[in-house]
Amino acid sequence: MHFPILKYRPALFFIAAVLLAVAATAQQIPSELTVRTQDSPTVGESEQKHSLYAGLGGGSNLIYLGSTISQDQPFLSAALTYGFKSELFVTLSANHLSDRSPFLAFYNFSANYIHTVNSWFDFSLGLYRYQVVPSMADTLFGSFNYADAAVGFDWKILYTTVSLGGFIAKNGGSYIQIKNSRFFETPAFMNGRATLSFDPYVNLLFGTVITMDTTDGSGTIKEHPGRPLWKGTPPGQTSSSTSYTKKFGAIEADFGLPVAFSTDVITIEAEAGYLLPVYTDPEYPEIKGFVFLVSLYLRIF
Residues listed for the chain:
301
Q: Residue 73: beta bridge partners?
A: none
Res 210 pLDDT > 50: yes
pLDDT digits (tens, 9 = 90+) for 234-254: 444 445 566 667 777 888 899
Res 38 pLDDT > 60: no
pLDDT digits (tens, 9 = 90+) for 123-132: 999 999 989 8
Cα–Cα distance for residue pair 203/289, rounded to 1 Å: 15
pLDDT band at 280 (very low <50, low <70, confident <90, very high): low
Q: What is the pLDDT of residue 186?
A: 94
Q: What is the pLDDT of residue 142?
A: 79
Res 122 pLDDT > 90: yes
Q: What is the pLDDT of residue 183?
A: 92
Q: What is the pLDDT of residue 277?
A: 82
Res 16 pLDDT > 60: no
Pairing status of strand 144-154 against strand 184-185: unpaired
Which has the minimum average pLDDT: 53-67, 78-92, 190-204, 215-229? 215-229
Q: What's the CATH number where 15 sits?
A: 2.40.160.40
pLDDT digits (tens, 9 = 90+) for 133-167: 988 887 777 788 989 999 999 998 999 999 999 88
> Which CA distances in Å does 275 have to 63, 72, 173, 255, 280?
10, 13, 21, 7, 14
Res 170 pLDDT > 90: no
Cα–Cα distance for residue pair 236/256, rounded to 1 Å: 37
Q: What is the mean pLDDT of the chain?
A: 76
Domain count, the chain: 1
pLDDT band at 36 (very low <50, low <70, confident <90, very high): very low
* Full residue range of the structural domain in which residue 23 is found: 4-299
pLDDT digits (tens, 9 = 90+) for 68-88: 777 778 899 999 999 999 899
The model's pTM: 0.77
Q: If you average pLDDT over residues 272-286, what whole number do you get?
A: 72
- Using DSSP, state whether 245 is helix, strand or coil: strand
Q: What is the pLDDT of residue 228?
A: 38
Of the candidates 229, 271, 281, 291, which has an alpha carbon nearest to the alpha carbon of residue 251?
281
Res 189 pLDDT > 80: yes
Q: What is the pLDDT of residue 231?
A: 37
34 against 179, higher pLDDT: 179
How far from chain centre, in Å, is Cα 217? Answer: 35
